[in-house]
């Protein structure tokens, strides 16, 4: 065999090996994304101050088992859930919007199947009992015009002991006084932690009750957090745009 043919054969073998490595890497990534962890980014302030715009987090896919929405593009080969685990009250969960079954939302589990939920003057009531809420100071952020905006911050404690902070500017805003909701079997009532700036289960024509099948996974840990307005791909700005104190923090 001539030298040129040996070089060509070596180059072809090298290209083939590279292609195999890339295919294997993609398959491994697909398996991890489908069955273990999937990354999500936070595009809105509906979960402030638990989650901020620019947070990037991992969601555990195995926490609630698997449905067709566990697979890319919702093309799973079955209906319902397998290896199912029930969402717990207080979990921060990603789910598919019931209206279109394609848009990802992230909210907190407040109401379980069969329960009644109502908000009165900003206080969540579960089965007629008010959720414990105490004022814990203010949340302050840049208003985008060189000033600050301050929002009252509260600590809620659910009946199962799960505790977290919420923001609520006023107690008589849109969504602070609601009718009584009865959560259907097989569904959950979801709310954002930024109570005056969250489209959630309180608004039946927009989100409403979330079917168990629509759950994608439970939010676990923030692996990256960028200042609002920063772009993920502008990695050369990361030393200045990363919120270092939020990295690798668990989602409460």
Per residue in 173-218, pLDDT (tens digit) is 889 999 999 999 999 999 999 999 999 999 999 999 999 999 999 9
């009165």: which residue's tokens?
120
User: Residues 46, 63, 198, 225: which is the catalytic one?
Assistant: 46
Whole-model pTM: value is 0.83
What does the mean pLDDT of the chain come to?
86
Selected residue with higher pLDDT from 72 and 245: 245
Selected residue with higher pLDDT from 160 and 30: 160
pLDDT range class, residue 169, cuts 50, 70, 90: confident
Q: Torsions phi, psi of 160, nearest 5? A: -90, 5
pLDDT digits (tens, 9 = 90+) for 110-164: 999 999 999 999 999 999 999 999 999 899 887 667 678 899 999 999 999 999 9
Separation of alpha carbons 188 and 110, rounded Å: 8
Percent of the chain clearing pLDDT 70 (strictly above): 83
Question: Looking at the DSSP assignment, which residues form a beta bridge with residue 194?
Answer: 167
What's the pLDDT score for residue 10? 47
Answer whether 192's CB lies under 8 Å from 47's CB.
yes
For residue 121, indicate whether it is catalytic.
no
User: Residues 67, 96, 107, 198: which is the catalytic one?
Assistant: 107
Answer whether 105's CB lies under 8 Å from 51's CB.
no
Cα-based distances in Å from 31 to 25, 52, 80, 161, 216: 10, 28, 20, 35, 15
What's the pLDDT score for residue 3? 46
Q: Is 104 exposed, middle or buried (0-12, 13-18, 19+ CB in 10 A)?
A: middle
Which stretch, 15-29, 39-53, 142-156, 234-248, has highest mean pLDDT?
39-53
Beta strand extents in 13-157 (DSSP E only): 37-41, 55-60, 92-96, 104-111, 116-120, 123-126, 129-130, 132-142, 148-157
- The answer to whether residue 5 scores a pLDDT higher than 60 is no
What's the pLDDT score for residue 66? 84
Q: Which residues, other chains included, contact 87 with Cβ-Cβ below 8 Å and sequence gap of 6+?
A: 64, 93, 109, 188, 212, 215, 218
- The answer to whether residue 7 scores a pLDDT higher than 50 is no
Separation of alpha carbons 203 and 53, rounded Å: 22
- DSSP secondary-structure letter at 99? T
For residue 46, indicate whether it is catalytic.
yes
What's the pLDDT score for residue 33? 58
Separation of alpha carbons 172 and 196, rounded Å: 10
Q: Average pLDDT for residues 78-93, to the nearest whole number?
A: 86
What's the pLDDT score for residue 8? 47
Q: Which residues, other chains included, contact 117 with Cβ-Cβ below 8 Å and sequence gap of 6+?
A: 110, 111, 124, 125, 126, 180, 181, 183, 189, 201
Percent of the chain clearing pLDDT 90 (strictly above): 60
- The answer to whether residue 24 scores a pLDDT higher than 60 is no
pLDDT digits (tens, 9 = 90+) for 60-74: 998 898 888 787 766
What's the pLDDT score for residue 73? 66
């Amino acid at each position: 065999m001539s030298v040129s043919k040996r070089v060509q054969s070596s180059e072809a073998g090298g290209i083939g090996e590279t292609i195999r490595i890339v295919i294997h890497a993609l398959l491994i990534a697909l398996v991890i994304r489908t069955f273990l962890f999937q990354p999500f980014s936070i595009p809105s302030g509906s979960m402030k101050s638990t989650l901020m715009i620019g947070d990037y987090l991992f969601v555990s896919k195995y926490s609630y088992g698997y449905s067709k929405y566990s697979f890319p593009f919702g093309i799973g080969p079955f209906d319902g859930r397998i290896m199912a685990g029930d969402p717990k009250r207080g979990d921060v969960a990603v789910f598919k919007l019931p209206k279109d079954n394609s848009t990802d939302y992230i909210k907190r589990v407040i109401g379980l199947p069969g329960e009644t939920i109502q908000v009165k003057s900003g206080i969540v009531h579960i089965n007629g009992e008010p959720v414990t809420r105490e004022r814990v100071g203010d949340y302050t952020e840049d208003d985008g015009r060189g000033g600050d905006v301050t929002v009252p911050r509260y600590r809620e404690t659910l009946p199962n002991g799960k505790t977290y902070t919420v923001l609520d500017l006023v107690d008589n805003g849109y969504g602070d006084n609601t009718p009584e909701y009865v959560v259907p079997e097989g569904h959950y009532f979801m709310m954002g932690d930024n109570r005056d700036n969250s489209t959630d289960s309180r608004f039946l024509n927009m989100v409403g009750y979330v079917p168990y099948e629509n759950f994608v996974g439970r939010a676990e840990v923030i692996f990256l957090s960028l200042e609002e307005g920063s772009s993920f791909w502008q990695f050369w700005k990361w030393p200045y745009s990363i919120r270092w104190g939020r990295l690798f923090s668990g989602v409460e």
